[in-house]
Amino acid sequence: MEIEAHFFRHESGRIVATLTRLFGMRNLALAEDVVQDAFCRAMETWESNGLPRNPSAWLMTTAKNRAMDLLRRERTARAAEPELVRLFESEWTLVPTVDEAFSKDAVIDSQLRMMFSCCHPELAQEGQVALILHILCGFSVKEIAQAFVSSHAAIEKRITRAKQQLAESANLFDLTVPNYQSRLSAVLEALYLLFNEGYHGSSPEAAVRKELCQEAIRLVNILTGHPRLATPSTYALAALMYLNAARLPTRLDGSGNLVTLFYQDRSLWDHQLIADGEALLDLSAAGTEPTKYHLEAAISCTHARASQNEDTDWQLIISLYDMLITIDPSPVILLNRAIAVAQLYGPERGLQEILDISDLERLSSYPFYPATLGEFQLRLGNCLVAKAHFATALSVARNAMERNFLQRRFDACREN
């Protein structure tokens, strides 16, 4: 039997969202049970009879039949979405209602609505992201804990709480309500965090991180496929993800060590993803003013277009950072701007830029702040000072990957 490793995980979100549309939000647990049940049946049947021609359709049909059985048995509000309950009273309307929910368009629509439901304003962002990963991406509590380098108990608690919040609404988020746009912003932000957790995140498992990025891209693609949700911001976020994902293969070297942009083998960047990202960035240009997604995508695009580090248009990158600062004046962005300035005008100017950051103390636990100081000092030939900075960076490193990286930079000071 040959099925793709993450087959069940990938199918889970589609089916849970579809069933929740029928059962109502209160019965999310029932939807999850039906999916588990369908998975068990699949394993048993496929084990003895071999794989069906279309495993995904097989699972959908199994879940659909199970849903019909359940709704027939429980023609009460208990197992049904409140507005649909009267339609489940009769076979005349039960079958077509379930058929409709399992149609291709409705399955996509349910996933979108579930994504919006997960981004309930009463939930903290970590709760929203964990919920999306759990319900729509089919990650187990264990896998989410691994991705966020958190304890099983903490993630479980976070998800349980978030689900209680969800259960308070009767059904999936209604995409036709007037305030859907403010919820869309929350969805974009959650997907942005999800992608960043994969891209910059703390999990030492490269595979886990790649999957987080892939899931964020899969979900943003559903948004760009919807006429009203494919806003300039949505396209910009998608562009940002594609352009950054293009560099994923080179972010870690063969031994799993972090490689900074300057030293990456650019021939290994995914040029198809870059082309797709550029096309998305073009589509995003319809808006009146750029969002942080636009600017971050444009910065990423500028890197992607340089075939070697020396060809990078640092002037353009600095001006993009200047615009980004007006939207998000966080010290991390100012630090990144300083790195670009150092590339164009030399490390001395870079150091000055860092000293000018007003709330530097907010960076005290961010290892790349002392590490950047170390890099600048190293380039200026102040090995001793550089070494001290790298030592500071090492003391605040958040995971083994960062520690390895910083240790190698620390050791590099010795060689000079």
Residue 228 in the binding site for other proteins (CB under 8 A): no
User: Strand pairing partners for 258?
Assistant: 252
Residue 87 in the binding site for other proteins (CB under 8 A): yes
Residue 44 or 99 with smaller CB distance to other proteins:
99
The interface region with other proteins, picked from 92-100, 107-115, 173-181, 228-236 by CB under 8 A, is 92-100
CB of 44 to other proteins, least distance (A): 25
CB of 86 to other proteins, least distance (A): 7
Residue 95 in the binding site for other proteins (CB under 8 A): yes
Q: CB–CB of 97/88 below 8 Å?
A: yes
Q: Which of 54, 65, 93, 160 binds other proteins (CB under 8 A)?
A: 93
Residue 92 in the binding site for other proteins (CB under 8 A): yes
Residue 364 in the binding site for other proteins (CB under 8 A): no
- Most distant CA atoms of the chain, gap in Å: 81
Residue 90 in the binding site for other proteins (CB under 8 A): yes
Residue 27 or 97 with smaller CB distance to other proteins:
97
The DSSP 8-state label assigned to residue 134 in this structure reads I
Residue 102 or 410 with smaller CB distance to other proteins:
102
Residue 329 in the binding site for other proteins (CB under 8 A): no
Residue 416 in the binding site for other proteins (CB under 8 A): no
CB of 57 to other proteins, least distance (A): 12
Binders in 236-295 for other proteins, by CB under 8 A: none
Q: Which two tokens stand for residue 412?
A: 């590099």
User: Strand pairing partners for 252?
Assistant: 258
CB of 77 to other proteins, least distance (A): 17
The interface region with other proteins, picked from 81-89, 113-121, 246-254, 370-378 by CB under 8 A, is 81-89
Residue 252 phi/psi, 5° resolution?
A: -120, 140
Cα 411 from Cα 106, distance rounded (Å): 57
CB of 92 to other proteins, least distance (A): 5
Q: Which two tokens stand for residue 116?
A: 């919006």
The DSSP 8-state label assigned to residue 258 in this structure reads B
Residue 72 in the binding site for other proteins (CB under 8 A): no
Q: CB–CB of 311/300 below 8 Å?
A: no
Cα 249 from Cα 317, distance rounded (Å): 23
Q: What angle do CA 315, 342, 267 make, to 5 degrees?
A: 70
User: CA-CA-CA-CA torsion for 274, 272, 6, 147, nearest 10 degrees?
Assistant: -20
Candidates 388, 385, 228, 248; CA nearest to 304 is 248
Q: Which residues bind other proteins (CB under 8 A)?
A: 86-87, 89-93, 95-97, 99-100
